[in-house]
Structure 1
Amino acid sequence: MSRRTLCDRGQAARSLDVKVSVIVPTYRRTADLARCLAALDAQQRRADEVIVIARHDDYTTLDWLRTREANRPDTRIVLVRTPGVVAAYNLGIESASGDVLCFTDDDAAPHPDWVERIALAFENDASLGGLGGRDIVHERNGILQGQKPRVGLVRWYGRAIGNHHIGHGAAREVQVLKGVNMAFRREAIGTLRFDGRLRGTGAQVHCEMGFSLDVQRRGWTLIYDPSLLVEHFPAQRSDEDQRDTFNDTAFYNASFNLRLIMCEYLTPPGRWAFVAYSTLIGDRADPGFLRALSLAFESGGVALALRKWRVGLRAMRGAWQEAAR
């Protein structure tokens, strides 16, 4: 089947043969969770089960969930005691019974055809290990705009390309899916789990990158289809990573995670090229020395730019030490 029509509902009868589980980690965001679960209730093809992973001490969310889900046999509440999305994802994998495991965030609302398109895609392509799509990001009183042809890639020297929120065109093979809108075949996952060594007590940035690369290394195909949509309303996080506010710990954690993944994924020449690239160049979010100087001249924040660079160096050292264990 053409990648262009991978998720086209007109190419096959409505699929009920594939059992679909949806996994939704949540923490202290009941209003966002209500919108997410309402969107899952409105699916044209309902999921066979929805698993909400909630923290054991998040009493407000648990009280709300238990009231709402009392008469909903297709929704289960699973309690996690370890902070961070990695533990929540892994508990979701272990708790789910579906042939296909879908992941979305509590601050997202999948479009009504989301589950059906995912089920059909996996049913129609036996080599498909993972499928993801675009998240339409609602931010700054609008929607983030843009169109990028390259999405979800890792260059041989470690440059990571995201752009899942502004990808366009036909469905295409990628290397990395995004947690807010991704699904994996149970058979492709097997015993694989999200990496518990990754740092952070909440989002644990880049965790889906490592997982996606591991699935691909097992010989499965990953597809990004920009017509597979969720609405994404980035909500405030309840950890050290507050998105647009700089925090040394959050920056170190994200840098450490990226560097650990690259240390273990890239070829030996690629690793050394990554050390040079990330130390000297990097990107706007995680700048090397030269980019840090460039950003400092743009914004006037010399101290902050160089502070990010120094934290990145510490993260590189920590990641290499972790990878060597």
Structure 2
Amino acid sequence: MAAEVSVIIPSKGCQYLSYTLCALRSQTRKPSEIILVLKDCNISAVEKLCESHALSCIILEQKVGSFTNALNMGKREAKKDILIFTDDDAIPPSRWIEHYVRLHELYRNIAGISSRDIYFDVIKGKTSPTPDDALHIRAYRWFVRPWFEPPLPQLKRYRFGVYISRNFDIKHGPFIPSRTCYSLPFRGVNMSFKSQLVYDAWFPEHPRLERSPGNEQYFGLQIVLKGFDTIYVPSNPVYHITRTESLSRTSKKKEMRAEFNIMRSLYASLLSKNLKIRPRQ
């Protein structure tokens, strides 16, 4: 029996949501359900948009809470075999869902599979590289990072992908963004999970978190601590509309630094709990 897919999309303002829904309409493998978690949106307009694209949308209105509250609302509502998360400013290529289903069939024992994003200017109709593509950054990841920013011991096999360092910082290893590897989820705009293996994993909720940088890795760390693995593949990208402010992106560096510090404490708390409940050998 073919796997069914839930696509989960949080949106605040819904400014670019039509691009995402149009791309989902054009998928070669249709999603069984699309969970839209909307905040400060015209619900009626979104309902009409879903109807015009003949998409099976479940619309949840988020009245309070932050970005990660919306992710958890969507996950809680989703009922299908594979959960795919993306943003309301992403444009998935037509075989995006089809490729994820095939990847989950190929990697049967892998709980989560993520891929990359490619910046896209909707006005000019042009793509542009992300910082991960820069030659000097890739060189740093090969020759410097392994020596000075190693991963947590629990994530040693993740050193070529996205991992959490011993200082509880999120780091990208040398295989990002061009090679398949063990990796915590790369970016929330493009990640997927087998629902039966992540039923008890949740995104961080904290009263002082608005964008929760590193929330994807927090989710992935729970999976790894349960004994499952997640991987990164470069072959299933989405186009990501270029803008400075969104649910997860901001130019406010001071606020982001404060949120990073909170996330570090949450990673540490996860690891502490895991050590406490680990059975004696």
TM bucket, shorter chain = 0.7 to 0.9
Q: CA deviation at 1:86?
A: 1.0
User: 1:53 is matched by which residue type in structure 2?
Assistant: V
Q: State whether structure 2 residue 138 is matched by structure 1 residue 151.
A: no
Q: Identify the residue that residue 213 of structure 2 maps to in structure 1.
A: 205
User: 1:64 is matched by which residue type in structure 2?
Assistant: A
Asked if 1 retains the 8 angstrom alpha-carbon contact of 2:114 and 2:191, the reply is yes
Asked if 2 retains the 8 angstrom alpha-carbon contact of 1:167 and 1:226, the reply is yes
Q: Identify the residue that residue 114 of structure 1 maps to in structure 2.
A: 96
User: 1:152 is matched by which residue type in structure 2?
Assistant: V
User: 1:256 is matched by which residue type in structure 2?
Assistant: I
Unpaired segments ≥5 residues, structure 2: 143-159, 274-281
- Cα gap change, 1:180/1:77 in structure 2, threshold over 3 Å: closer, same or farther? same
Asked if 2 retains the 8 angstrom alpha-carbon contact of 1:25 and 1:105, the reply is yes
User: 1:36 is matched by which residue type in structure 2?
Assistant: T
Q: State whether structure 2 residue 224 is matched by structure 1 residue 252.
A: no
Which of 78, 84, 89 aligns to 1:102? It is: 84
Aligned residues: 244
Q: Identify the residue that residue 83 of structure 1 maps to in structure 2.
A: 65
Deviations 1:79-126 (A, max 9, x none): 222231111111111111111100000111112111011111222332
- Cα gap change, 1:52/1:167 in structure 2, threshold over 3 Å: closer, same or farther? same
Distance 1:267 1:83 in 2: 26
Distance 1:35 1:266 in 2: 39
- Cα gap change, 1:218/1:242 in structure 2, threshold over 3 Å: closer, same or farther? closer
User: 2:49 is matched by which residue type in structure 1?
Assistant: R
Which of 231, 235, 239 aligns to 1:227? It is: 235
Which of 19, 36, 50 aligns to 2:4? It is: 19
Distance 1:193 1:108 in 2: 22
Larger radius of gyration: 1
Q: Identify the residue that residue 43 of structure 1 maps to in structure 2.
A: 27
Deviations 1:220-264 (A, max 9, x none): 12010011110111435367x862343x3343123322x213322
SS of equivalent to 1:29: coil
- Cα gap change, 1:142/1:99 in structure 2, threshold over 3 Å: closer, same or farther? closer
Asked if 1 retains the 8 angstrom alpha-carbon contact of 2:175 and 2:181, the reply is no
Q: CA deviation at 1:18?
A: 0.5
Deviations 1:145-204 (A, max 9, x none): 4364743122344342147996002x2111333201001111111222212127323x22
Asked if 2 retains the 8 angstrom alpha-carbon contact of 1:156 and 1:266, the reply is no
User: 2:120 is matched by which residue type in structure 1?
Assistant: H
Which of 25, 29, 34 aligns to 2:14? It is: 29
Percent identity over the alignment is 23
Which of 189, 199, 205 aligns to 1:196? It is: 205
User: 2:182 is matched by which residue type in structure 1?
Assistant: E
Q: Which stretch shifts more, 152-161 or 87-96?
A: 152-161
Deviations 1:9-36 (A, max 9, x none): xxxxxxx710110001001133x11111
